[in-house]
Amino acid sequence: MGDGRAGASNRPAWLQQYDLIGKIGEGTYGLVFLARLKPTHPQAAGRRGSPIAIKKFKQSKEGDGVSPTAIREIMLLREINHENVVKLVNVHINHADMSLYLAFDYAEHDLYEVIRHHREKLNLAINQYTVKSLLWQLLNGLNYLHSNWIIHRDLKPSNILVMGEGEEHGIIKIADFGLARIYQAPLKPLSDNGVVVTIWYRAPELLLGAKHYTSAVDMWAVGCIFAELLTLKPLFQGVEAKATPNPFQLDQLDKIFKVLGHPTVEKWPTLANLPCWQNDQQHIQGHKYENTGLHTIVHLPQKGPAFDLLSRMLEYDPRKRITAAQALEHEYFRMDPLPGRNALIPSQPGEKIVAYPIRPVDTSTDFEGTTSLQPTQLPSGNAPPGGQPVPRQLPRQMQQQAMGGMPRMPAGANMGAFGAAPQAGMVGLNPGNIPMQRGAGGQAHPHQLRRKADQQGMGMQNPGYPQQKRRF
């Protein structure tokens, strides 16, 4: 952990380890910056040229030090070790103002940008191989978290990072653990933590005021993300009423019930015990919804494996909702095309690689959030032709407003992570090991060979990875 004591210059000693490039994100938690380790730094030997994302936390509202959100995130991240989950590289404290900085590997993309690029730029659906690979990796990372009694509580496309360069190209990283927590034998009801999960991905038991909930809330969010990968738009786009701390959100429930139909006590026995179900006779129990059919929204055959998996993720009763471990064993992942470790390579011979845009960098903003940097180039491969300085970009939230895009909370979404050693006590799960085989016969396409090489490099030690069924 670095400190904030000044060195030869007025800059903190830890800050002198980095060459700052610019700001890449901003949210209620603070700022995220893009930087590089200087070549002279001891840690740079094995990470030469790799960009680093540095997440700066604001002080706590009470002004008495580090925020509880930051402490929770550090405590969890230092214990986590999985290919599909972000990892902490370093932690720095600036003692002058008690500001806290977390360092991660930089991820070029996130699912929000991938989906938006297909919707607004390409006007083309994401290919089945990529959807399946992204979903499998997301479930793989989530299964690791849930196996270690960690619930994320804020899964959404902007918090699912995608590595864009290097050996981890096309691998996702679950990010932003500000709302995550251990849920084994909690001392207090989890509802005491306040509202969790961005509203479009919030499970119905949360919207109806459940005092206790489980990892099933993450699986509901995964179902919403799965549908969004298929349709390129959010499945349940409710409008959040922020004037009250009451978890009850009528518009969001209305959006859910219109697609999935009215919940019943027969199908969801514990529904009658939820506070908002009991207290809102007029809007919830009094209004009868007809099931318009989820399959008509996502355009999947009702008897197909993809729809079966999605409907199990969006099961009303959290006790019946499919778990991450069960989902990884689902038939959907055992049918061609099999999911792969690199989700961004083409699915068919002759198919072009999609050039996803990297997130914009404000090259005029320093670590204090002031505009004092000189324009600089982006990481290797991201600079415009001719090596000209990159112009200053609008903050990401302003860009979204200008483009009329989906609302999002970018907290932690602009970071990737790798490199921190795991601590003792965590249940070991094999990270990754996703099958890359995509059939035989004929001349192998270069991208198929690349997939095969990825497969051989993974060791294939996980006994639960999908196996392709024999077809007759």
109-334: CATH number: 1.10.510.10
What pLDDT, in 10s, does the model give residues 122-137? 999 999 999 999 999 9
What is residue 457's three-state secondary structure?
helix
Q: Which residue has the higher pLDDT, 199 or 28?
A: 199
| Angle at CA of residue 301, ends 202 and 199, nearest 5° | 10
Q: Is the pLDDT of residue 237 over 70?
A: yes
Residue 62's pLDDT is 61
Residue 341's pLDDT is 94
The band of 277, judged by pLDDT with boundaries at 50, 70 and 90, is confident
Q: Widest CA span of the chain, in angstroms?
A: 73
Q: Which residue has the higher pLDDT, 430 or 298?
A: 298
14-108+361-393: CATH number: 3.30.200.20
The one-character DSSP state at 128 is: H
Q: Which of 31-45, 201-215, 302-316 has the lowest mean pLDDT?
A: 31-45
* Maximum average pLDDT range among 55-64, 91-100, 240-249, 334-343: 334-343
User: What is the Cα–Cα distance from 86 to 163, expressed in whole angstroms?
Assistant: 11
Specify the pairing of strand 181-182 against strand 30-37.
unpaired
Specify the pairing of strand 181-182 against strand 18-27.
unpaired
Q: Which residue has the higher pLDDT, 174 or 456?
A: 174
Domain ranges in the chain? 14-108+361-393, 109-334
Name the residue among 156, 136, 150 with its Cα closest to residue 83. 136
Q: Is the pLDDT of residue 333 over 70?
A: yes
Q: Which residue has the higher pLDDT, 11 or 401?
A: 11
173 is in an annotated binding site: no
What pLDDT, in 10s, does the model give residues 334-357? 999 999 999 998 878 888 889 998
Q: Is the pLDDT of residue 386 over 90?
A: no
- Write out the two tokens for 283: 């809007």
Residue 145's pLDDT is 96
* Whole-number Cα distances in Å, 172 to 135, 218, 369, 467: 9, 16, 29, 21
Torsion-angle region of 397 (φ positive above 0: left; ψ -120 to 50: alpha; else: beta): alpha
Q: Is the pLDDT of residue 2 over 60?
A: no
- Catalytic residue status for 154: yes
**Which residue(s) pair with 100 in the sheet?**
57, 93
- Report the mean per-residue pLDDT for the chain: 74
Q: Is the pLDDT of residue 42 over 70?
A: no
Q: Which of 141-145, 281-285, 334-338, 346-350 has the lowest mean pLDDT?
A: 281-285
Q: Which of 19, 97, 110, 154 is catalytic?
A: 154
**Which residue(s) pair with 160 in the sheet?**
174
User: What is the Cα–Cα distance from 17 to 39, expressed in whole angstroms?
Assistant: 9
The pTM assigned to this predicted structure is: 0.75
Q: Is the dihedral of CA 16, 22, 27, 28 positive or negative?
A: positive
The band of 240, judged by pLDDT with boundaries at 50, 70 and 90, is confident
Mean pLDDT of 13-37: 85
Residues 7/16, Cβ–Cβ less than 8 Å: yes
